[in-house]
Structure formats: structure tokens, C-alpha cells
Amino acid sequence: MIIAIHMPKTGGTSFRKSLEQHFDGKLLFDYDDLPLHKTHEQRMSDVRAFQKRLLTDSDGSVIPEGTSCIYGHFLALKYKQLLNRRNVQFVTWLREPAERLASHYHHWVRNCGDASPDFVKKIVKENWSLAQFCMAPEMRNTQSLFLQGFSLSDFAFVGITAHYHSDFAYFSKKYLGKKQWRMPQLNVNRTKKATYFTDKDLLAEIRQFHDLDYTLYQEAVKMRTKRLS
């Protein structure tokens, strides 16, 4: 079974479509947690409650029998009880942190509506700038937050969004048995510039503020380089 963490704004919607096509009815979606819109205490309470349910899941009410892949916006910690089981592999994608933040900002601004979480509505109502968003405590080290309690070595695959085509080809061949796959591109910002950032001072502040995410990303890039060699 593959447990795939959909890191926000890392190409996950396109990846999701490919998993849907491959696993069909054996794919379980897990998108209800909304970890970015809860406090640390609420997130940990959710994790503990789920782990307790999973521990006593004798009838398949938590993970239905026949599930081959779980995918969604959830903390990896939620499924840590399944780590190191022979038939379970954790996978995810990471993105250069500043670029991921900017993509997240523009996505929320474009798609804010009545059903959006309060934090998203606040960003739009108060007309936050990109810089304000990037330096918000609620968004600090998002990728590290999703992977807390894990090391990257716990993951069978960590894709890099900047190399999406080649990394997806590797993943599909190794884990899905697909030598060739036409990769869909979904939920893409068609107006995106070559880079979201031209202010070097702001970028330096972002790198310092999101230090854990940059350390994580650099490690993932090194792992990819090692895999290619």
C-alpha cells in the first residue's frame, strides 16, 4: 500500500489524477483534516484520535479492505503506526519553499469563496500582500509540519516539483509498473511568472523564517541527486 501525502501546491492535483487512473476503486482519499487551519493542539488531538481508531480497526471501517493507496492533505504522523510494515510505502513531493508559499498564496486568493476556511477569507478580506503571507506564523515551515515525526529516509519516494516530469516518470515506472505515462497537468497557475520573487531581501527573510523547510528541501534535493547517480 502507498501512503501519499499531498503537500499543498507541489503538483499534487496532477499526481492525484494519475493515482486515480491507476488505482481506480482502490484509492482512499483523506482530505478532511485541514491541518493548516487548526492549532498544534487540535492537530495532535486529531492524530491521536485517528491512531486509536486505527489500532482497533478490525472491520476495515478506517482503512477498507483492498485499499492500495491513501492520498490527501494529512500529517504523515497520522499513519505512523504503519511505518516499516513490509507492504507499506510512504511517498510525497516537496517544492522550493518560497515558490511553494507564493503558489499557495495565489491559489487561495484566486479560489476564495463562501466555503473557504476563515484564515483564507482573512487573507483576502484584509488584502494581504505576498510578503505578509510568507511571513505569517500560520504558514511557517508548512512542509516540515506535514512531515513532522518522520525523516526523509522513512519515505520510499520524495519527488521534487521542479523536476516533476522526470521524477514522475521514475515513480510511475518503479511503483506503478508504468514505463510510459501521459502525465496530466492540473490546477496550474497559467499566469505564473518565471519566479514570484525579485526582492532579494525579502527572499533572504523568507529563507531565515522558513529555515526548517529549507533544510528539509535541501536534503530532498541531495537524495534525488544520489538516486540519479
At residue 178, the pLDDT reads 77
Mean pLDDT of 116-142: 97
- Domain coverage including residue 192: 2-228
Residue type, 127: N
The DSSP call for residue 9 is: T
What's the pLDDT tens digit per position in 181-225? Answer: 565 555 555 555 557 887 889 999 999 999 999 999 999 999 999
Q: How many CB atoms lie within 10 A of CB 191?
A: 7
Residue type, 28: L
pTM comes to: 0.91
What's the pLDDT tens digit per position in 6-49? Answer: 999 998 888 999 999 999 889 999 999 999 999 999 999 999 99
Alpha-carbon distance 42 to 52, whole Å? 15
In 3D space, the residue among 55, 4, 59, 50 whose CA is nearest the CA of residue 26 turns out to be 4
| The C-alpha cell that represents 35 in the structure block | 491541518
Q: What is the CATH number of the domain that holds 121?
A: 3.40.50
**What's the number of domains the chain is made of?**
1
The beta-strand segments (E) located in 112-214 are 157-160
What's the pLDDT tens digit per position in 148-192? Answer: 999 999 999 999 999 999 999 999 999 998 765 565 555 555 555
